[in-house]
Amino acid sequence: MDLGLNGKTALVTGASRGIGLAVADELAAEGVRVFGVARNISPELEKVAAGTVSADLSTTEGAVAAVEAALTELGGIDILVNNVGGGDADKLTLGGFLDTPEDQWRKLFDLNLFGVVTAVRAALPSIVERRGAIITVSSINARIPAAGPVGYSEAKAALTNFGKRLSEEFGPQGVRVNTVSPGPVGTDIWRGPNQLGAKLAAANGVSHEDFLAAIPGQFNIAAGRIAEPAEIAALVTFLASERAAIINGSDYVIDGGILKNA
C-alpha cells in the first residue's frame, strides 16, 4: 500500500528509543525526512534521521529550540509526532494523592502537556501552510485515572483533550489532528532495569521478570500480551499518511483489549 508519504518531512519528539524511535524508523522507511528530538540522542536515531537535536521538551525554551532546529533542517514540517512523555521513574512517587508532592504534578504536566503545547504552537504555522498532520501519543491512562503515578493520568487526559481542540480549530484549514493511546508497550519504561516497571515490581515485592509476565493477566489484556513499539509506529504512520485523509479528531486506543468500552 502506497501511503503517499515519500518526500514529506516530520518532526518526532522523544525519538531516541521506544515508540519514538520506532516511529522515526517507520516514517523514514516510507521516504519521510525525519528530524528527531530527545534529551539524549541515540546511535539508532542518528541512523534513520535526517537531523537530530538534543533538547529538554519539558521547558518552553527547549521545545521552541527543537522546532526551530527542525524547520531549519527540513525547510518546513508536514508531520508532527508528539511522542515525548512519561517521566523519570527514579523521581516518581508511587503513593496516593496525599503522598505525592506537588512538584511531581508540575513536572508531569510540564513534560506530558505543556511541552507539547509549546511545540505545537511553534510548528503550526508550517503545518497549516502545508496542510499537514499532527499525531500525539497519549495513553489509555487518560481514561483510567486511578492507574499509574499521581499526575500522569491527569496530564494525559488533558493532552488527549488538547488534541481534540486542535482538530476542531485547524481541521477546516486542512490540518488533521489525531491521538494514539497505547496501553503497556514493550519499551524500557516497562522492561528497563531501572525504569517504572522495575520500580512497580519492587513496590509489589516481586521480581521484575515475574511482574512483566503477569501484566497481561493483571490488565486483562484480551490479546494476551503487551504491544510492541513497531505496532504503535505502524498506526502513527498510517494516521500521518494520505490514506487517512478523512480521519481527524480521533483518539485511537491500541491496548490489546484492556479497555472494554473504548
CA-CA distance, 55 to 130, in Å (whole number)?
Answer: 25
Query: What values do phi and psi take at 54, rounded to 5?
Result: -90, 125
Judge whether 152 counts as a catalytic residue: yes
Q: Which amino acid, 76?
A: G
Query: Dmax over Cα atoms in the chain, in whole Å?
Result: 53
C-beta separation of 139 from 182 below 8 A: yes
35, 109, 114, 152: the catalytic one is 152
Listed residue (64, 113, 49) closest to 84, CA to CA: 113
C-beta separation of 193 from 187 below 8 A: no
C-beta separation of 89 from 189 below 8 A: yes
Catalytic positions are 152
